[in-house]
Chain A
């Protein structure tokens, strides 16, 4: 999987057609680098997300594509055309803004018709396409309201319709659901996903919500400190994080800092800071692992098994005591303090009838392939 994914990035570039490309793009604000040398290729028809914590440069990246910012260095291409000299109003992209930026002095109808009228479409064509867009977002009955008279979710739909009605090559979404409450957000995620399939456009979405990115996207770029940490499908990002940041940022994980003691093409032997000896899966099999190099081991909580006795022949098996339990409804999170002093979080289905007390010896174990060695 991981091999296919990484190769795709290069190979697909030429055949499937790219809608958006960023080549070594830098952006500096007041001597601070917001974006530091980003390379990005977004395929036609893809739902692509840029995910990262606030201040990571993801919104700047989107604004570079939209044209509201010009790169300090590097090049932005849309459908193989360099966009560096093209102002926002001539780019074949439309944006759904964070908190929508609807024109408060226009009705819903006029908001949606805004782009079409600028393009000197005939009256009948405007009429037809606005109607169509209203239908697409299920807002037909609100056509003559003003934005202030709509709820957040309704404004969101109008913003979507206003952008989509122009049939852009690429639709840019800047934290589109960020202002909505949880339930509405879930609903809109579903609708956004359906919409993407219906219109078949390239969507580029910026979000800090990993769940939103995971559930909607074909591929995700995880950004941190103005750089891309990893690009891949939600599964690759989750199962095969390539950096400790990605592993930590996406979902929950247990991280151990350690030193490589020895290696085998498919295995690494690592000793952690507190002296635990673990067998781990190298990041990319085939590549020579960094001997005596520093690595970070990542083990997902749901991959750890808990038992009352040490399992036979299991490599990564450590004794500990139950320290804390958190109920999460369908699951429980157990924190186990190992004899070394390290704590691991373990996720268990909420089926355990009775939990052991704090003095019962417990054994946490995980498979080699679930213990990922990430280079620092």
Chain B
């Protein structure tokens, strides 16, 4: 008897807690660490930046005393619209060229190149990522400058030299190059999953290779294209190494402007924070688009 009583007493609370604990413990254990990470390192800093953006003209050492939207008002000047426009132009341009250059490469590696070479080919494309981005930009200076590698070559084959350095083209070239490995990886992952029988099915139904490409390959890899494009877009929106080193005197971008407000010549942390909020907004917008597209690709 005496052994039965405790056992029933023990089992009851056990069963009770078995029911209770998973409800909140499971999600807590699974989401807690990353939640804490996100909260401490993303949400709170973003809120602090937002708070700073409400202090007009704050510099290091000043008291943080939020007082209004003056910093945002400053942005509404043609000169800053031009900066935002230029940033968007570089980001869109980079996305376009990275896609244009990256897709054929990813396509070739995923669908045409011999299987046993694929990993090696991918690796060789990712290799540039192992060098510093600064180093890559300096390499482009050497290539693109008026008497650089490119123009020496053009001269050799009788083509007039191109004045690319310290202009927008150099920025686009440098940024597209930097982004190429990323987009090739993302597109490869997408194309590698492409069902080849769909390509055969399309050919079987009368589609020539070009039609197969536009009507099947592209739509089928669209989620990958969208993901890759957004990755490139967001990253290049925040890049300032290439615009600074390759773009010359008229290549101020949002990221560089923010940098200048914090640790550059003009130390206005309030205005810099307001600009940061604008950048965060633009990036969020891009991510919202990604989620929307992601949803659609799930239905299909």
Contact = CB atoms under 8 A, between A and B. Distances in A.
Interface string A87-104: 111100111010101111
Given A68-B200, A101-B200, A115 B206 contact: yes
A166 interface: yes
A118 B222 contact: no
Nearest to A99: B197
Interface string B196-227: 01101111111110010001100110100000
A86 to B, nearest CB: 12
Contacts of B205: 89, 94, 114-115, 118, 162-163, 166
Contacts of B207: 89, 114, 118
Interface string B62-99: 00000000000000000000000000000000000000
Contacts of A66: 200, 204
B200 A104 contact: no
A118 B206 contact: yes
A118 B215 CA distance: 10
A88 B204 contact: yes
Contacts of B202: 103, 114
A67 B211 CA distance: 17
Contacts of A162: 205
A212 B61 CA distance: 85
A67 B204 CA distance: 8
B204 A94 contact: yes
A89 B208 contact: yes
Contacts of B211: 89, 118
B200 A105 contact: no
B197 A97 contact: yes
Contacts of A166: 205-206
B253 to A, nearest CB: 36
Contacts of A94: 204-205
Interface in A71-123: 87-90, 93-95, 97, 99, 101-106, 114-115, 118-119
B295 interface: no
Interface in B246-300: 299-300
B216 to A, nearest CB: 6
A148 interface: yes
A186 to B, nearest CB: 26
A323 to B, nearest CB: 48
Contact of B201 (A87, A90, A101): A101
A263 interface: no
A146 interface: yes
B114 to A, nearest CB: 12
Contacts of A146: 299-300
A89 B201 contact: no
Interface residues of A, number: 27
B219 A105 contact: yes
A89 B206 contact: yes
Contacts of B195: 101
Contacts of B204: 66, 68, 88-89, 93-95, 163
A364 B162 CA distance: 96
A68 B197 CA distance: 10
Contact of A105 (B197, B203, B222): B222
Contacts of B208: 87, 89
B214 to A, nearest CB: 11
Nearest to A63: B200
B300 to A, nearest CB: 5
Contacts of A119: 206
Nearest to B208: A89
Interface in B28-49: none
A114 B300 CA distance: 17
A162 B205 CA distance: 8
B218 to A, nearest CB: 10
A106 B220 CA distance: 10
A231 to B, nearest CB: 25
A132 to B, nearest CB: 17
A90 B207 CA distance: 9
Which of B201, B205, B207, B211 is packed against the most chain A CB atoms within 10 Å? B205
Contacts of B197: 97, 99, 101
Which of A87, A93, A95 is packed against the most chain B CB atoms within 10 Å? A95
A87 B216 contact: no
A89 B203 contact: yes
A71 B296 CA distance: 42
Interface in A255-312: none
Contact of B200 (A88, A99, A118, A163): A88
Contacts of A114: 202, 205, 207, 215
15 contacts: A88-B203, A89-B206, A89-B207, A89-B211, A95-B201, A97-B200, A97-B201, A99-B197, A101-B195, A101-B198, A101-B200, A106-B219, A148-B299, A148-B300, A163-B204
Interface of A: 66-68, 87-90, 93-95, 97, 99, 101-106, 114-115, 118-119, 146, 148, 162-163, 166
Given A104-B220, A115-B206, 11 more contacts: A68-B200, A88-B200, A89-B204, A93-B204, A94-B204, A101-B201, A103-B220, A106-B219, A118-B211, A163-B204, A163-B205
